[in-house]
Structure 1
């Protein structure tokens, strides 16, 4: 088996040693995070969004994931913490004027700077190529370098002017330790939001549901002796009770007669033309010769 034909094998060809650990260039890995989507591994293109852990995504890729979470996709662990569209923030990047696009060196006859980033910091001018730390504000989504945030200390956004706090800055493409810290902050924020919602729900229930003691006192009334009340009325009324009852009956009859509707044909103030519009008019009545032998939906069908 081999070693024929005058071949002289060497030791490393016969004895398998330990595998060499392939070391990935740190700067190359960071530069790739600033150029490719963390979910679909496609080129970053606007609109670009970021989660609460500082990862960069194409917005359409995240929306496709939210619409169909059952589909098999690579790198699903990067978006497992995203519950909805509210958990991501669209970023406001500043384009790098030195970036010429993907086809900047199609001929291969000139030097190509691999460290050239797609975006820059609008304050300091540093390129977002993985060598410099960048962060974004959760309030407005503007992206700045960490150096700009430290050198120009302010509570107003450098780009849009919206106010922000120190805790609103989220590091983009940070280290594992920074991602863990951001995850802890995210969980604390979500737990606080849940407690607030539960307190609001309990307050609404207490306002809507009345106190049982008060409701019983309001609804319950003292019992009334019906026989005693009727006997008292008879004793007080006496002989004049019958006259009062007759007067009440007459007044109620008059009121009912006044409220009854009169026929349109009995109204003298109306003209004959107006009365002929109604079916109670004499012109609407038919003779026996005009009546039909069958019944239809419209009784006045001729």
Structure 2
């Protein structure tokens, strides 16, 4: 086959050498990192959040990722380290006045200059297009260039004035070395938080029984003290009862009555006042003759 009609093949058409390694276009890579969400691959729109490794996401994409617990999520590896919404920080970005957006490209007759960044550093004025290193603070979410941190050294945020430490500074879309360093700091931070939570639990568990002992101890002691005289008083009250019954039985000549019957006494025979006795049904005023008592009873209000 081939060589028909006087064609002369060349060497590269006949001999197949090793395949060349495909190089990634740096400009295309920068555009993908700084203008598109690392999880949904959609254009970044406010509110924009960043994880502890310095990747940019749309907040709604992160929420959908956390709510969707099904396996086999597309591009789930990019956010596998995000366990809750607390692991991301909402960014405070400064708009670039020179960026006009894609409003003039509605008909497709205008070229979008993707190298023109939507945001810039509010301190130095550098555009956030990937050509310069940018970082954000975990404590407040403010974003500015790394040059601003180096030129203006301070322990307070240049934008909002919030205090921060070196551990709060996270580089956005850093190199592999930066990502590895941020990953180690993230693991240390989460391990420290777990240890602090475990340390708080035993303290809370110890404080509860101490309060119970302090509150319940005196009450139990008081209850024990109050119970002892009550038992003694019961024994003292119960002990003279048979003697009184025996004495009354011998004086009245009636024997064989139980001891409990002697303790019962009617209010009519007591030495209380007549006003007090009239409260009870055993009083003579409560007793009515058959002529005085009604022969019918009703519970409805219509008869009154």
Shared fold (TM-score greater than 0.5)?
A: yes
Relative distance call for 1:283 and 1:113 in structure 2 (3 A) is closer
What are the within-5 Å matches in structure 2 for residues 210-221 of structure 1? none
2:172 is matched with: 172
SS at match of 1:185: helix
2:17 is matched with: 17
Query: Which one has the largest radius of gyration?
Result: 2
In 2, Cα distance between the equivalents of 1:255 and 1:187? 82
Deviation at 1:156, TM superposition (A): 2.1
Structure 1 residue 37 and structure 2 residue 40: aligned?
Answer: no
Answer whether contact 2:241 2:263 (CA < 8 A) is retained: no
SS at match of 1:34: helix
2:239 is matched with: 234
In 2, Cα distance between the equivalents of 1:171 and 1:117? 18
1:107 is matched with: 109
Relative distance call for 1:8 and 1:258 in structure 2 (3 A) is farther
Answer whether contact 1:30 1:173 (CA < 8 A) is retained: no
1:129 is matched with: 129
Structure 1 gap ranges (5+): 261-277, 285-302
Structure 2 gap ranges (5+): 249-261, 282-297
In 2, Cα distance between the equivalents of 1:135 and 1:256? 93
Deviation at 1:213, TM superposition (A): 10
SS at match of 1:170: strand
Relative distance call for 1:75 and 1:240 in structure 2 (3 A) is same
2:202 is matched with: 202
Relative distance call for 1:143 and 1:251 in structure 2 (3 A) is farther
1:94 is matched with: 94
Relative distance call for 1:209 and 1:3 in structure 2 (3 A) is farther
Relative distance call for 1:33 and 1:282 in structure 2 (3 A) is closer
Structure 1 residue 3 and structure 2 residue 8: aligned?
Answer: no
RMSD (CA atoms) = 4.2
What are the within-5 Å matches in structure 2 for residues 288-299 of structure 1? none
Answer whether contact 1:27 1:131 (CA < 8 A) is retained: no
Relative distance call for 1:190 and 1:283 in structure 2 (3 A) is same
In 1, Cα distance between the equivalents of 2:277 and 2:182? 80
The structure whose residues are more often helix, as a share, is 2
In 2, Cα distance between the equivalents of 1:151 and 1:259? 98
In 2, Cα distance between the equivalents of 1:241 and 1:171? 101
Relative distance call for 1:279 and 1:5 in structure 2 (3 A) is same
Q: Bigger shift: 164-173 or 135-144?
A: 164-173
1:147 is matched with: 147
In 2, Cα distance between the equivalents of 1:166 and 1:256? 88
2:156 is matched with: 156
Answer whether contact 2:48 2:58 (CA < 8 A) is retained: yes
Deviation at 1:191, TM superposition (A): 1.1
CA-to-partner distance for each residue in 1:226-247, whole Å, 9 max, x for gaps?
89x7479626996599999678
In 2, Cα distance between the equivalents of 1:27 and 1:256? 107
In 1, Cα distance between the equivalents of 2:172 and 2:201? 36
CA-to-partner distance for each residue in 1:134-163, whole Å, 9 max, x for gaps?
011111111010011111122222222222
Relative distance call for 1:210 and 1:256 in structure 2 (3 A) is farther
